[in-house]
Structure 1
Amino acid sequence: MSDDNHTLPYPAADSEHPTLVIPGEGADAPAPRRRKRWPWVVAIVLVVLVGLVVAAEFIARAVLPGVVRSMVIEQLDLPADQQLDVTADGILLPQLIGGRLDSLQLSTDSVTLEGITGAVDVTAEGVPLRGGDLDGASGTIRVDESQFTELLSGTELPVDAVAFEAPNATVSGSVSVLGVAIPISLTVTPGVADGDLELTPVGLTVGGLEIDAEQVGSSLGALGANLTQTQRVCIADRLPAGLTLSDLQIDGSVAVIDVDVDGAIVTDETLQQPGVCPQS
């Protein structure tokens, strides 16, 4: 080979010509970064916990009505098959843990107490789950014309039937004058005074004729005078002693009676028993 075409030597490595390193090759290549998994784990745990809480809430709402229903039926000595709907407000789990329900509603389309049948709705506030009195309670009782007639059956009024025409009620019956039965219809506006029914007369017919107060007194004597005066009727003996009448309104074909409930009725058995009317 001729010296005219000699091979040049490869340049030596120096700082001006650094050797390039291909990424991923060589012993000093950095390891690939691993993705963090803990956020996904936390999310899955939270989803599971939420699911458990929701399931527990559904279970509580399914179980609580039956428990409350059984307690009410036992305390008031109602029939075992008594229809009674129970609902509670708010999220139940925190209330159950705290041992107190914020608000509880009980309702039935028909219940019989001391011979009087009606629909009842009661709302109780601050219901203790481990014993104790209610913070308070109130409700309404709805009775039809026939049951309202029963409420008045123990009075001195001549009551055979009652007809509603809001805001009044007409009491029909008969009185005996000289051995002759005379039909009487007394129209009154019902209300409540000091826990008693109050009947304020607004009209009277005797024998089918409308008459004024003076005519009643002269023709029917003491009975006639009583008919023209406001009547007070105690029905405490028809209700648990823990219930007090607060208002009464005629609404269509029913009388709506509002009641206040003593919070101690759940612990004091005497308040669960029928009340007492004062002797006249």
Structure 2
Amino acid sequence: MSDDNHTVPYPEASTEHPTLVIPGSGTGEGADAARPKRRRRRWPWVLLILVILLAGLVVAAEFIARSILPGTVRSLVIDQLDLPADQQLDVEAEGILLPQLIGGRLDTLHLSTDAVTLEGVTGAADVTATGIPLRGGDLGGASGTIRIDQAQFTTLLAGTDLPVESVAFEAPNATLGGSFTVFGTAVPISVTLTPGAVDGDLELTPVSLSIGGLDVDVDGVGGMLGSVGEDLTKPQRVCIADQLPAGLTLTSLEIVGSEAVIDIDVNGAIATDESLLEKGVCPRP
């Protein structure tokens, strides 16, 4: 080969002409380092966890409140009414308790028992109280129902002038069995009455009458039996306030099946006035 066509060498790298780097075309560690890292948003997850924990605490607190409240209320009622320590009494509160406890007042409480004895009369009872203050004060209101059987209804009428030795229910009436004395001889008598309530008193309206096993005219028997006959043949109002706490008022009474269903109204001040827990008083005749 001839030296006339010799190879010309590449020029050396010069700072006058730096190598250009096209953005985004780089690869490798240098490119990764140059690219800004995207920060991961963690706060929604943190917030969700806090909400879940808070909900769990609220549920736990509500559960604890519902576990403690019935026993506390039961103890207070038993103490106030001087009931036996082993008295069966179910307590149930309505609504979510925590806001009510914080506010210091329960919306509604239901109390029920299969058997409770008040002033010698035993029956099943259901009472609903509203606006119950937790820091002292009167109840917003309360009412209830007492159910008694035939034997207890007989006890309820024991203080009256009626010849009551037994009671038989046949809804809506009650038949009273007893006797009265005529010339030293006991004469059996049976009177069927429809019970009710008027102004807090028990009202008995006669329906039929039997003397010595014979049915007699209710309207015409008054003269035959004198004052006893008059009492048996006209509606009677019987005060039973002396057989109930003073804070309870009879509002209605009816025979349902084999029970006498007595509705009562409860004075809200019974929670603060101890005299309302004492036996009531009947006016003198």
- Per the TM superposition, whether the score is higher than 0.5 is yes
18, 21, 25: which one pairs with 1:19?
21
153, 158, 163: which one pairs with 2:163?
158
Runs (4+) off by over 2 Å: 1-15, 17-21, 23-28
Match status 1:100 vs 2:102: no
Partner residue in 1 for 2:49: 44
Distance between the aligned counterparts of 1:208 and 1:273, measured in 2?
42
TM-score, length basis structure 1: 0.93
Partner residue in 2 for 1:276: 281
In the TM superposition, residue 23 of structure 1 has moved relative to its aligned partner by: 4.0
Distance between the aligned counterparts of 2:172 and 2:150, measured in 1?
13
> Higher mean Cα deviation, 92-101 or 206-215?
206-215
Distance between the aligned counterparts of 1:242 and 1:106, measured in 2?
17
8 A contact 1:164–1:254 mirrored in 2: yes
In the TM superposition, residue 213 of structure 1 has moved relative to its aligned partner by: 2.9
Distance between the aligned counterparts of 1:36 and 1:83, measured in 2?
57
Partner residue in 1 for 2:172: 167
Distance between the aligned counterparts of 1:89 and 1:264, measured in 2?
22
Distance between the aligned counterparts of 2:216 and 2:5, measured in 1?
155
In the TM superposition, residue 209 of structure 1 has moved relative to its aligned partner by: 1.1
What do the CA deviations read for 1:117-161 (whole angstroms, capped 9, x no partner)?
Answer: 001111001000000001111001110000000011111110011
Q: What is the CA RMSD across the aligned residues, in angstroms?
A: 2.2
Q: Which has the larger radius of gyration?
A: 2
> Higher mean Cα deviation, 204-213 or 132-141?
204-213
199, 209, 214: which one pairs with 2:214?
209
**For 1:93-172, what aligned pairs fall within 5 Å after superposition?**
93-172=98-177
Q: Percent identity?
A: 66
TM-score, length basis structure 2: 0.92
Change (3 A) 1:4 1:170: farther
Partner residue in 1 for 2:242: 237
What do the CA deviations read for 1:244-267 (whole angstroms, capped 9, x no partner)?
Answer: 011111110000000010000000
> Higher mean Cα deviation, 261-270 or 210-219?
210-219
In the TM superposition, residue 216 of structure 1 has moved relative to its aligned partner by: 1.5
Is the partner of 1:245 in helix, strand or coil?
strand
In the alignment, structure 1 segments of 5+ residues that lack a partner are: none
Amino acid at match of 2:95: G
Change (3 A) 1:26 1:76: same
Match status 1:29 vs 2:34: yes
8 A contact 2:125–2:147 mirrored in 1: yes
8 A contact 1:101–1:129 mirrored in 2: yes
Change (3 A) 1:18 1:187: same
In the TM superposition, residue 225 of structure 1 has moved relative to its aligned partner by: 1.7
> Higher mean Cα deviation, 76-85 or 34-43?
34-43
Partner residue in 2 for 1:221: 226
Is the partner of 1:83 in helix, strand or coil?
coil
Distance between the aligned counterparts of 2:46 and 2:129, measured in 1?
44
8 A contact 1:146–1:161 mirrored in 2: yes
8 A contact 2:176–2:190 mirrored in 1: yes
Is the partner of 2:101 in helix, strand or coil?
helix
In the TM superposition, residue 173 of structure 1 has moved relative to its aligned partner by: 0.6
In the alignment, structure 2 segments of 5+ residues that lack a partner are: none
Distance between the aligned counterparts of 1:219 and 1:33, measured in 2?
109
In the TM superposition, residue 12 of structure 1 has moved relative to its aligned partner by: 9.5
Question: How many correspondences in the alignment?
Answer: 279
8 A contact 1:184–1:208 mirrored in 2: yes
Is the partner of 2:204 in helix, strand or coil?
strand
Is the partner of 1:250 in helix, strand or coil?
strand
In the TM superposition, residue 182 of structure 1 has moved relative to its aligned partner by: 1.1
Partner residue in 2 for 1:73: 78
Distance between the aligned counterparts of 1:176 and 1:207, measured in 2?
12
